[in-house]
Structure 1
Amino acid sequence: MRTFKYIGLVVLAIIIWTAFIGYGTMDGFLLRSITSEDTSEAFIEAAQEKIEEDFVGNFAMMLIEDGEVAKTHFYSVDQPVNENTVFPVASISKWVTSFGIMKLVEQGKLDLDKPVDDYLTRWQLPESDFDNNKVTIRKLLSHSSGLVDDLGYNGFEPNEKVQTIEESLTKASDTDYSDGVAIVGYEPGSQYMYSGAGYTILQLLIEEITDLSFQEYMTKVVFQPLQMNNSTFVISEKPNLKLAPIYKNDGTTRPMNTFTALAAASLFTTTADLSKFVQASVSSNPVLRAETIATMIEPETFINEMGVYGLGPHLYSQNATDSKVIGHDGSGNDAINTAARIDLMSKDGIIILETGSYDIASSLADEWLFWKAGIADYVVIQRNKTFLFLLLGIGVIVIIGISIFIFKRNNRKRRLV
């Protein structure tokens, strides 16, 4: 009977230790950062080691400290890149687009909570099983509109015909993993579901409200005021830009695709230009008022009561109280990956633009998030997996060893008695 009691206590101790490891993993205090040193130089050195592990065609990284550019790092297998080299940034386009939309809100030309169909004449949401009048600009910005397109646009190769906005919204032909149809498939406002088509609708909305092309409007109200002189949504309109070679993950290069979905996927920019945009969220800027920025960074959509998206930016702080990190990532198109983050409290940030890898920019941005703010994501947990299993195993061995020692000692005492 006493033996079973000991076994039960050992099992309980192992369960408690396992729970401790799990809690320490989720909370982050058991995880090790990519570097133990608290300097930009150390983070860059650790990042370079990651770059050397897998193929990366070209890479541009900028670290921001206290609202100012602190360090840069560049890498390429062929043609050198620098802070003025232009990269396609994929879905970071959405965050930049949100500035253009919110400018119209500031000017009283748009109402965040008015049905988007009330503004559109060239195209309207198709009939659905839900109330399309609940699809508002607020919900489109925050990916809670009910749209189920699941669109990540591939764009069109140089020999392909580019769709019009209306054709793309009716059925996008530049996607290979969804139907490409912009239709409301769940109750608007009920949940978060990422939608590329939502931002294409916002692109159309801008053109209808302003009587300008999307490119003209965004250049006028965002790029020029922020002096983002090497940025464009239509690369053919700025042919003299220094474009980074577009590497695929097999090491070959390809020409850049052309997009109908400019607002969702077609921004071309540099680390220098993007730093001006990112800094606009933490300092006064000529585009949006501080109260507008404050509105944009409030959680609008949630997953398990955790705010994940505002009116344009993704929210990364996971309800932490000592940081408020916003930003956006971009990926796809074999193989582009980009990431931008800024902590509104510390004013520290990171920008990574690269081609040739599907995930290194996002992975390193997640590593930066843990390094700077202690917020652990999947990438950090996976990197620490071996260490955590080792820690778990050592703990189990120690528990069993101590238990055997105590059991034998008590048995000896009983025999002596």
Structure 2
Amino acid sequence: MKKLKRIFLPIVAIILWTVFVAAGFINGFLLRPITSETSSEEFIKASKEEISAEFVGNLAMILIENGVPSESYFYGIDNETITENTVFQVASISKWVTSWGIFKLIEDDKLALDTPIEHYLTRWHLPESEFDHDEVTVRSLLSHTSGLVDGLGYDGFYSQEKVQTIEASLTRAADAPYSEGIAKIGNEPNTQYQYSGAGYTILQLLIEEVSGQSFQQYMTENIFEPLQMNNSTFILSEKPSVQVATWYKDDGSVSKPVYFTALAAASLYTSASDLSKFVIANSAKNNVLSIETLEQMHAPEAFQHSYAVHAAGPAIYGGTEGNAPVIGHDGSSDRPVINTAARLIPETKDGIVVLEMGNHGMASRLADEWMFWKLEIADYVVMQRNKSYLITLLIIGYLVIIFGAVVIIRRAKA
């Protein structure tokens, strides 16, 4: 019996240690942040090590503390000068900025969140489906719960001459690499979250129909100018004087720019300084939207497995049923290779902006590392970085248990 006990107890200890480490991995309490220091300077220093390990092209990063830019880092390949005012194309972060245009119309009583979008549209209409299109509202488009199944994902056009009209693109997008590119309702509206590029192209059309202005003109006059985002535009030719970061492919070669019909979904050009102003405005009094409207924008609207994943404009990170601890948005593109990320903790007014051309995931990875560093919200990126450390920890625990068992057995025999 004693012999069995000596064998059984180490096995139990090994099982318990394995469960403990696995729980620490899944729940994050054993994971280590990118730096153990709490200052923004140290986070920037740790980020530089990540950036230096692989090709990133050009990069701009600004950290925000208590609603004020604190530290920054700018990196340019081949001696290219990158500053806080250098303009990057930011892909899907465009959607978050577009949502401000929609809520400005709502505050001006020209739109209503829960009115069917067909009430406003004249130039294009949703194609017939088995579902009730009166359930497709401004709110559902903003939160990706409209039932659209377009799978867009816009690729853009290398030639301006090939850019479609909004109506033609919604009927069948010619720059849809991953789907047939048709804006159609394929699921029951307001029942599930499904990311939709076409939803924001419809919102782009909605802004034009309701305001009587072009999307570019409306967003410039009502969002960019009031927020003093002086280096921001959805159409680059409208800002010929800005310094634009060179576009890159992931092999390090220079890429041509692309042009979009889907301005609202994918085409925003902005600088790290301008985007920081926008992020800060999401948690502060500003001359565009009221604090009450901002709180409405940030409230969870879309859920997956009881986790809040999207509000009426920004995405939600680390959210639960009624909680949105971090809001923001990422952007990515394959041609040219773009990755961008913006995050905000509304409660503390801390944030991060990372704009990058040339790497598929660096900006999002740094933003995810920042979330764990700030709030211990762990995701795949942080888990992967900690994997070798936790495996080492697991092995050390096994060795300690085995060594302790051997010592106990030898003492018992003695």
What TM-score do the two structures reach when normalised by structure 1? 0.95
Taking the aligned partners of 2:410 and 2:180, their CA distance within structure 1 comes to 67
Q: Secondary structure at the match of 2:180?
A: coil
Matched-pair contact (CA < 8 Å) for 1:301–1:310: yes
CA distance in structure 1 between the aligned counterparts of 2:56 and 2:228, rounded to whole angstroms: 29
The equivalent of 1:137 in structure 2 is 138
- Partners of 2:188 and 2:15 in 1: how far apart? 42
Q: For 1:7-406, list aligned pairs within 5 A.
A: 7-78=7-78, 79-158=80-159, 160-319=161-320, 324-332=325-333, 333-406=335-408
Paired letter, 1:153: Y
Q: Are 1:158 and 1:255, in contact at CA under 8 Å, matched by a contact in 2?
A: no
Q: C-alpha displacement at 1:5, in angstroms? A: 4.9
The Cα shift of 1:110 comes to: 1.3
Q: Secondary structure at the match of 2:382?
A: helix
1:83-136 alpha-carbon deviations (Å, 9 max, x no partner) = 111100000000000000011111221111121122111111112232222111
CA separation of 1:397 and 1:309: change in aligned 2, threshold 3 A: same
Deviates more, 1:275-284 or 1:315-324: 315-324
Q: Is the 8 A contact 1:28 1:376 kept in 2?
A: yes
Matches of 1:201 and 1:267 in 2, distance apart?
16
Distance 1:407 1:75, change over 3 A: same
Change (3 A) 1:400 1:69: same
Q: Which runs of 5+ in 2 are unaligned?
A: none
Residue 27 (structure 1) shift? 2.5
Q: Is the 8 A contact 2:339 2:356 kept in 1?
A: yes
Distance 1:152 1:185 in 2: 17
**Identity value in percent:** 57
Q: Check conservation: 1:323, 1:345, Cα contact below 8 A.
A: no
Asked if the contact 1:56–1:76 (Cα under 8 Å) also holds between the matched residues in 2, the reply is no
* Cα separation, 2, equivalents of 1:60 and 1:314: 21
CA distance in 1, matches of 2:124, 2:6: 72
Q: State which drifts further: 3-12 or 135-144.
A: 3-12
* Distance of 2:307 and 2:16 partners within structure 1: 27
**Cα distance in 1 between the residues matched to 2:384 and 2:20:** 18
Paired letter, 1:365: A
TM-fit CA distance, 1:322 = 10
Could you say if the C-alpha distance between residues 19 and 158 of structure 1 is closer, same or farther in structure 2, counting changes exceeding 3 Å?
A: same
Please give the alpha-carbon distance, in whole angstroms, between the structure 1 residues aligned to 2:264 and 2:184.
18
Amino acid at match of 2:326: V
Shift of 1:286: 0.6
Q: Say which SS state the counterpart of residue 246 (structure 1) adopts.
A: coil
User: Which range is displaced more, 321-330 or 300-309?
Assistant: 321-330
Single out whichever of 67-76 and 157-166 deviates more from structure 2.
157-166
Q: Distance in 1 between matches of 2:265 and 2:256?
A: 20
Gap change, CA 1:3 and 1:179, over 3 Å in 2: farther
Report how far residue 406 of structure 1 moved. 3.2
Tell me how large the CA RMSD over aligned residues is.
Answer: 1.8
1:280-304 Cα distance to aligned partner (Å, 9 max, x none): 1111001101000001111111112
Question: Equivalents in 2 of 1:397, 1:192: separation in Å?
Answer: 46
Question: Matched residue of 1:327: which SS?
Answer: strand
CA distance in 2, matches of 1:9, 1:334: 58
Task: Give CA deviations for 1:211-252 in whole Å, capped at 9, x if unaligned.
Answer: 111001111110011011110001111111111111111111
How far residue 3 of structure 1 moved from its aligned partner, in angstroms, is 4.5
CA distance in 1, matches of 2:3, 2:136: 65
**Alpha-carbon distance in 1 for matches of 2:409, 2:319:** 45
Q: Is the 8 A contact 2:306 2:321 kept in 1?
A: no
C-alpha contact 1:148 1:184 (8 A) present in aligned 2:
yes
2:73 aligned counterpart, secondary structure: strand
Amino acid at match of 1:254: S
Deviation at 1:2, TM superposition (A): 5.1
Work out the CA distance in 2 between the residues paired with 1:216 and 1:158.
22
Q: Take 1:393 and 1:188, find their aligned partners in 2: how far apart are those partners? A: 50
SS in 2 for 1:254: coil
Deviation of 1:160 after TM superposition, in Å, equals: 4.8
Compute the displacement of 1:408 (Å). 4.4
User: Cα distance, 1:403 vs. partner?
Assistant: 3.0
Q: Which runs of 5+ in 1 are unaligned?
A: none
CA distance in 2, matches of 1:86, 1:273: 9
Aligned with 1:376: secondary structure?
coil
CA distance in 2: counterparts of 1:160 and 1:409, whole angstroms:
85
CA distance in 2, matches of 1:189, 1:4: 59
> 1:175 deviation in Å?
2.0
CA distance in 2, matches of 1:20, 1:343: 30
Q: Distance in 2 between matches of 1:296 and 1:107?
A: 15
Once residues 321 and 16 of structure 2 are traced to their aligned partners in structure 1, the CA distance between those partners, rounded to angstroms, is 26
